[in-house]
Each structure stands twice: as C-alpha cells, then as structure tokens.
Amino acid sequence: MADRSYEDLLSEITLLREENRFLKEGIKQGERIRKKITSLIDQLKYAKGEIEILARERTQILNSLEEMLFVVTPEGEIQITNSRCLALGGIEAEADLVGKMIGEWVIEEERNSLASFADFRLLIEQRKAEELRGYYRTKSGERIPILITGTEVLNGDGSPRAYVISARDVRDSKIMRTLRNSQSQLIKTAKLASLGELSAGIAHELNNPLMFVVGYNNRIKSALAKDDLPAREKILRYTEQIDEGADRMKTIIQSFLDFARQTETKREQMDVNSVIEKSINLVKEQLRLRSIRIKTELSNHPLLVMGEKVPLEQVMINFLTNARDAFSDIGDDIMKTVVVRTKEDDNRVMIEIEDNGVGIPSEIQDRMFDPFFTTKEPGKGTGLGMSITHKIIEDHGGKILLKSAPGEGARFTVVLPKPDVCDGGE
C-alpha cells in the first residue's frame, strides 16, 4: 500500500513537471506570437501611412493638371470643376462655379457665349468639338484665350448623362502639350487612382486573416490559463493556423506596397503570367465583394514579352476593374465570371480578359479608347483608364481587340510581340 502511494506521488510529481514544461513552452510560444502580431500591426500602420501619402500625392497631381475640366449636365449646368478652373478664374471656392451655367464662364470664339449649349452638344455628339477656340471669363471680367474640347458621358441606354469639357490656356506655348504627350504623368495619376480604389478592398481582405490570428491567439491564451492544458498537438495546430494567417497578411501588404512603390519605367523581359497574377492579387477582393468569380487559364510555361512592369500592371488592373463595372446592372441570379487567359503563337503573346456582363454596344465600342470618354456617372470615372491602356499597349508594339455585343459580355484581347520580334530578330 505504501509502495503504491509513493508511486502515485512520483507520478503526480512527474505530471506536474510535464505540465510546468508545457506551460513554459506555451508562454514562449505566446511571446513569439505577440511579437509577430505586433510586427504585423506595425506593417499595417506603415501601409496606412503609405496610402495616405499616395492619396495626397494623387490630389496634388490631379489639381496640377494644366487643363481646366468642367463636368456639366445635358442642360449645361456645372457639376464638377478642378482647381485649375478656380486658379485661372480668380475664384475662391468650387461652390462659386457649381450650379452655374457653363456659358457664363466659357465663351466660344464665334459666339458670345456657350449659353446655347444645345449647339455645342451637337458638335460634341458629332465629334466636331475638337480644339474649338474660345475664352474663359474670369471673375474680374478678363477673357483668357483657350482651346475647348468636349466629350459626352452616356447612360446605359446611350442617352447623354453629362458632358466633360476640357479647356486649355493657350497664352503660353509651353502649355500646348496634349494629354498624349503627358503619358507618364497620366499613368502615375491612374496608378494613384487605382491605389485609392484598391485600398478599401485590401483593408477588407486584411481583416479576415487578422481576425483569424486574433481568434486563435485568444484560444491559446485561454488554454494556457487553465490547469488542464490541451494536448501539445492542439497548441501547435493553433500556432500553425496563426502562421498561415500572418503569411497571408504579409503577402497582401507586400503586393500592395510593391505596386505602390514601383516608379521605374525600364524595359525588360518579363513573364506576362506573373504580371497578371500580381494584378489579380490586388483586385480579387473587390471582385469577391461583388460576388464576381475570377478564373485564370494561364499558359503552363512563362510567356515572355519586352515591356515596362508598372504600365503593364496598370493595364491589367484597368481591364479587371472595367470588367468588374460591367456587372453593375446585373443581379445575383447569374454566376458573374471574369476569365483571364494567356496563349501564344510563333511571334505573339495574347492576353484575353472575358466577362459575361452586360456587353458593350457598337456605338460605344467606337469610342472606347477616346480620352475622357466614360459611361460612368459624374465623379465615378475620369474617362482616362481605357485611353491610357490603349496608349501603353501601342507603346509596347501591341494592339487591343474587342469582341462584344449587348447582353453577351465582352472579350478584350491584348496582343503583344515576343522579345525577338521587338528586337527585330528572325
């Protein structure tokens, strides 16, 4: 009997030692987890700071455009302006322009005003409102010579929703540069606009693994606080799950920062599949939040092109967000799908972006790549995205093909030459 009591005591001591060892090990693991979470929080704070810096830079770029921009209703009432309009007009606040008629400020040379906006609308719709000479009337009454262009923003049924009027001060010959000669600035502006738009989706995507990490960390804390510790395997499984969540957050943050920091425009050989995957990684949460499935059918081997990484990533993001918007008027009764595929022939690499959205009418297809042309509501699009996309692909020696019809979705095909073709090789 005494021997059994001694054995029981020895067994209890051994068990206590084992529990003490598990407890120390758990505390160490908890400290490692705490440091990892602290590091992730620091990264999130840094990423937030980067987004705020980029947002300020984006605002500065948009407000430093040399062109005056007016968004007006079909009747000619001003809805939106930019800071250039205020500066040239000696106007203190946008509210002093918004709600006024465009004809009070912009004067066509051959008429005394644009008060008869219906005539100007007709010129825009006939695509004849290109480089009309006129004047911008300032608050003090001065008349500044300008060149006026205009484009229409359409409703889904093709009727005009608004008009975008661009006016350039031509007093200084240095300001005679066109938007196409400012491509690098426009690409940067589009990139910053994309970052601002993507940041909300990325923040939402980070929230899931962060809650995952916090949840499992709380389980470990709870387990360590109890006398009856869970099995070692269970604790290790929790920590593995935390590691997975942490790695996911690191990947998301790194993808965002990589895209945000890239400023070089050096041409080099690159795999288009890699460009596509990085772009999808930035946009996929936006698509998921709108119940849009993205499917990839990429070549199983690298498809090399000679190009600039930043602009080509911007091209893919523009196409993917354009496909996203194609579902804005579609309910949840169909499976919304975007398919991205790559293929090649002897001399070319092809990238296809296909959606089963509302499709694009032929009259809109003709103007798809015109600067400032957009079918979105005022304030929801600059009309520059597809124009910049077209220019970037042209500069890479490629072209864009479009196949679409109303109700049948759309398929954009980007065709790029292979490196030996770019170099003039056989």
* pLDDT tens across the length of the chain (426 residues): 445 576 777 777 777 777 777 777 777 777 777 777 787 778 878 877 887 887 677 557 657 767 888 888 888 899 878 888 898 889 988 889 889 988 888 876 555 455 456 666 776 666 555 567 778 888 887 878 888 888 887 877 778 888 888 888 877 544 444 544 555 555 555 555 555 555 555 555 565 566 656 666 666 666 666 655 555 566 666 677 677 667 666 666 665 665 555 555 578 899 999 999 988 887 887 788 788 999 999 999 999 999 888 788 888 988 988 888 888 777 777 899 999 999 998 889 999 999 998 888 888 887 777 765 666 665 455 556 787 788 888 888 888 999 998 888 899 999 999 886 444 444
- Looking at residue 180, its pLDDT comes to 43
Q: Which of 197, 202, 324 is nearest to 255 (CA)?
A: 202
Residue 305 sits in a domain whose CATH number is 3.30.565.10
Position 362 in a domain? yes
334 and 239, same structural domain? no
Q: How many helices (H) and strands (E) does the chain have?
A: 10, 13
> What are 351's two structure tokens?
């990238």
Establish how many alpha carbons lie within 13 A of residue 272's alpha carbon, considering only the half-sphere containing its beta carbon. Answer: 30
Give the dihedral of Cα atoms 245, 251, 257, 261; nearest 10 deg.
170
Position 290 in a domain? yes
Position 9 in a domain? no
Element (H, E) at 149: strand 143-154
285 and 415, same structural domain? yes
- Looking at residue 412, its pLDDT comes to 95
370 and 302, same structural domain? yes
Element (H, E) at 43: helix 2-63
Residue 82: what are its φ and ψ, rounded to 5°? Answer: -115, 175
372 and 403, same structural domain? yes
- Looking at residue 314, its pLDDT comes to 82
Pick from 146, 176, 206: which residue ends a domain?
176
191 and 245, same structural domain? yes
100 and 76, same structural domain? yes
Position 39 in a domain? yes
Residue 105 sits in a domain whose CATH number is 3.30.450.20
82 and 31, same structural domain? no
Position 26 in a domain? yes
The number of residues making up the chain comes to 426
Burial class (CB in 10 A: 0-12, 13-18, 19+), 213: buried
375 and 277, same structural domain? yes
276 and 330, same structural domain? yes
Residue 154, domain extent: 67-176
Pick from 115, 150, 176: which residue ends a domain?
176
252 and 198, same structural domain? yes
Q: What is the pTM of this model?
A: 0.47
- Looking at residue 416, its pLDDT comes to 94
149 and 51, same structural domain? no
3-state secondary structure (DSSP) of residue 5: helix
Position 248 in a domain? yes
415 and 312, same structural domain? yes
Position 12 in a domain? no
Give the dihedral of Cα atoms 102, 107, 112, 113; nearest 10 deg.
-10
Pick from 215, 234, 257: which residue ends a domain?
257
Element (H, E) at 107: strand 106-108
